[in-house]
A = this chain, B = another copy of it.
């Protein structure tokens, strides 16, 4: 058994002939995402001592300099509100984001990147994009475009099925 070569054992590789194709599609999708996520997570940790959820939250804020409310972060990151509370708490403690009370709604908070947060995010974002480019670089540009298009259709299909 040679460890220098990637071991092709994962959920999807083991699907048996009897499995229907929808299931195999799902397992392969899951495998791709898991592999990429593990890779990105490891590099983010190694080079910046940062976790993926923190990076994702900061990425949303970077796109919205005016700030986002907790609930909007929750929707965009597709995680529950309680979770956003926890991660935001940490980032506030570390001085990377601020929680401000908007004048018009005392229930809400607006989260924004601090200058330090923005600087740190920008350092990470550059590496992050390079990693992702490398991971998908084995596909030719037309293949990537086609995959992007098909995933768009899949997304619509899933959203339709989910909304009954």
State the oligomeric state as a number of copies.
Answer: 2
* A 56-82 to B, binary, CB cutoff 8 A, 1 in contact else 0: 100110010000000010011110000
A155 with B28, Cβ < 8 A, contacts A147-B147, A160-B138 known: yes
- Asked if A100 is an interface residue, CB under 8 A from chain B, the answer is no
Shortest Cβ distance from residue A143 to the other chain B in the assembled complex, whole angstroms? 6
A144 contacts B21, C-beta separation under 8 Å:
yes
By DSSP majority rule, is chain A's interface helix, strand, loop, or mixed? helix
Residues of B within 8 A of A56 (CB): 11
Residues of B within 8 A of A148 (CB): 21, 24-25, 28
C-alpha spacing A4/B63, complex, angstroms: 27
B135 contacts A11, C-beta separation under 8 Å:
no
B78 contacts A22, C-beta separation under 8 Å:
no
B6 contacts A63, C-beta separation under 8 Å:
no
Residues of B within 8 A of A150 (CB): 139, 143, 146-147, 150
